[in-house]
Amino acid sequence: MNIDLQLVEGLKTPLYWYDLGLLQSTLDMINDCIKGTPVRVHYAIKANCNPKLLKVIAKAGLGADCVSGREITAAINSGFPAERICYAGVGKTDRELIAGMAKGIGYFNVESIEELETLDELASDYGYKPSVAIRVNPDIDAHTHHYITTGLEENKFGIHLSMLDKAIEFAHKSPNLNLIGLHFHIGSQITIMEPFKILCEKINGLTDKYRKSGIEFKIINVGGGLGIDYEDPDSNPIPDFKTYFDTLLKNLHLSEGQELHCELGRSIVGQCGSVVSQVTYVKQGVGKKFIILDAGMNDLIRPALYGAHHKIQNLSAAGESETELYDVVGPICESADTFGKDERLPKTKRGDIIVIRSAGAYGESMASTYNIRPTAESTLR
């Protein structure tokens, strides 16, 4: 385990705890895997925008995938070069589009014909020719939670295949836009390779088709989505990047000089973060016991929002052999404020330190101040 009682005892809880050593090993693994390949990895800032983590990731040489004007600012302030930033999102405002051009970002992942027309107009007014990749909705089931599936026809993301010709023709012919790529993202927490293989086949079909009309894409961006092991983070602290990149490189027909871009978020930062919390009460309910933590769904919303399960451990009772079943809950006035039901844990008492593991991705970045609670501080080691 990358965290123990000694490391966190006495710190103010609830707290986000990050293991920078694990983050660095994860980044080193990615860089080893892509060395000598046409793969360029962009870190999906939305997964965790803690400035200290961003600096480490920028230093490792990754680009940044942003989804708002403020994420672009955060990326640049943390040392990501503007030209290594790509910018996706279905609702980029005029102000955000102009800011992206002003900052000279690498390219825009454009999600609709309406957005293409707007960017075209703004670019002409602004006197700047932005590079664009067209985000395609490939209608692929990523076999993940329906809230984090993005590549299905019914989702709001990307341009549907039936409208793609029109979008590509518009971008290709526009004197104000520089069409450089195709962009995809089929979903998140994908733990099998099959959806990525299907994506590659779809991409090959599209690039062949447009090559016949004389359109070559310099960049193929497959988005992110690689999952992590929430149940056993100690056995699998670093996701299987090798199999992931091999799958893409083996199945995609890349042409000479073409770059393959990935936008990984969860797989980079997920395992290096934990929520550290203290037990406020162990409450006897009717037929069950509750562990009531000082961390709530405002600190980590994934269990409440997606029914996600994170491994829960009692650091104070590490040597305790007697176990009991508990529902582990937060203090917020919502029944969804539950981190685990019927969790078998060592006998727990008031004041014990509990950690919720694998919380580095979509934890701190999705935190809120619901119930006017303060946002948890973070500590990095």
Q: Which residues bind ligand LLP (CB under 6 A)?
A: 44, 47, 65, 88, 148, 150, 185, 188-189, 223-226, 263-267, 302, 306, 361-362
Instruction: Give the span between the Cα atoms of 23 and 265, in whole angstroms.
Output: 12
CB of residue 233 to ligand LLP, shortest distance in Å: 15
Nearer to ligand LLP, 92 or 266 (CB): 266
Instruction: Give the span between the Cα atoms of 115 and 92, in whole angstroms.
Output: 8
CB of residue 4 to ligand LLP, shortest distance in Å: 26
Nearer to ligand LLP, 262 or 328 (CB): 262
| Residues facing residue 307 across a β-bridge | none
Nearer to ligand LLP, 263 or 299 (CB): 263
Instruction: Give the span between the Cα atoms of 17 and 7, in whole angstroms.
Output: 10
Closest CA to 134 of 149, 120, 154, 148: 120
Nearer to ligand LLP, 54 or 292 (CB): 54
DSSP 97-131: HHHHHHHT-SEEEE--HHHHHHHHHHHHHHT---E
CB of residue 146 to ligand LLP, shortest distance in Å: 12
Whether residue 86 contacts residue 105, with contact meaning beta carbons closer than 8 Å, is answered with: yes
Instruction: Give the span between the Cα atoms of 314 and 197, in whole angstroms.
Output: 40
Q: What are phi and psi of 53, to 5 degrees?
A: -70, -40
- For the chain, give the number of residues: 381
Nearer to ligand LLP, 254 or 305 (CB): 305
Nearer to ligand LLP, 302 or 373 (CB): 302
CB of residue 135 to ligand LLP, shortest distance in Å: 8
Residue 372 Rama label (left phi>0; alpha psi -120 to 50; beta): left
Nearer to ligand LLP, 189 or 348 (CB): 189
CB of residue 301 to ligand LLP, shortest distance in Å: 8
Whether residue 288 contacts residue 327, with contact meaning beta carbons closer than 8 Å, is answered with: yes
CB of residue 367 to ligand LLP, shortest distance in Å: 12
CB of residue 39 to ligand LLP, shortest distance in Å: 14
